[in-house]
A = this chain, B = another copy of it.
């Protein structure tokens, strides 16, 4: 900290800090507070190397092979929204976490925490759409548990899904793989899921135009990997905290800088409009049906061609590059030629979005 000369008692500008003896909503944001909660209150105790890698899924040895394991708790409000519901989100989110480490999803387990009073018709719709999503994705829901808590002790329904995946070769993707000269691709426009939830919740009137992008990405990942013979360095689905937080995590894990071209980042007009109304940056808004791929420059053309040939990736774009300079930093080159740093947020733009 640079010393600042000031006159008058108490006028020294304090370093901004957020400290608390209690869990704050921002601890669930996917931003800096989430990272602090993990660093200070979870990782001191949970010391497994597989967990400490903090990939989207853990890779563990079992019965002479390797498995990918991923778990996610879903607490989205409202439970149903344009394009999906909490059940679809839980299935897709877990499948996608497995796909991001290079695994083929095989099995899902489901834990329901239900608030007393939830309409059974709502539960039926959500369970049915989970089953449909899993079936379409070719995975089986093989175990489950249901708990009911008193009215006012939950928010309708929370779902925790765990996914088990297998590997068909030696390819494993991890957030540590980005290298100087690599290129950053995104498989579709950003911000649709988060702004859909926000729009429904706040009654913004964008409901007819906004639709969650929730989707199972493993077929798209498979197509990319085949096209470039597994020459993919990092994959990440930018959910909570959005593209900005995901790239910050990669920049930190890989000890590289990441430069984005603002004009290249695809944002659909209704998402852009909703972000403007609310003063939000789409780079921090959650996505549930796109992923970031960091690939060597030599395979960019074939990678983009493969992504665009799949219905989920028709709007894939090159959005930036990896540099050896400014390790741990993400910045945007703006339309007018300036640059601004895209840091992780301390807390949340939008809570309870997944």
- Chain A residues near B (Cβ < 8 Å): 20-29, 34, 37-38, 41-42, 45-48, 50-51, 57-58, 60, 62-65, 67, 69-75, 77, 106-107, 109-121, 123-124, 127-128, 130-131, 140-150, 152-155, 158, 160, 162, 164, 166, 351-352
Chain copies in complex: 2
With A21-B120, A62-B106, A131-B46 as known contacts, state yes or no: A145 contacts B111, CB within 8 Å: no
With A37-B146, A46-B141, A69-B109 as known contacts, state yes or no: A123 contacts B160, CB within 8 Å: no
With A142-B50, A164-B62 as known contacts, state yes or no: A152 contacts B149, CB within 8 Å: no
Q: How far is the CB of A39 from chain B (nearest CB, A)?
A: 12
Q: Can you list 27 A-B pairs with a CB-CB distance of less than 8 A?
A: A22-B120, A23-B115, A24-B116, A27-B146, A28-B114, A28-B149, A41-B123, A42-B146, A46-B110, A46-B130, A46-B131, A47-B131, A50-B140, A58-B109, A63-B64, A63-B166, A67-B164, A69-B109, A69-B164, A71-B143, A71-B144, A74-B147, A111-B160, A113-B113, A149-B352, A153-B154, A154-B155
Q: For A143, what are the chain B residues with a Cβ–Cβ distance below 8 Å?
A: 50-51, 57-58, 69-71, 162
* 8 residue pairs, one from A and one from B, having the closest CB atoms: A28-B148, A160-B160, A162-B162, A71-B109, A73-B111, A111-B160, A63-B65, A45-B131
| CB nearest neighbor in B for A352 | B149
| CB nearest neighbor in B for A150 | B25
Q: For A150, what are the chain B residues with a Cβ–Cβ distance below 8 Å?
A: 25, 155, 351-352
Provide the bound-state CA to CA distance between A109 and B69, in Å.
8
| CB nearest neighbor in B for A72 | B145
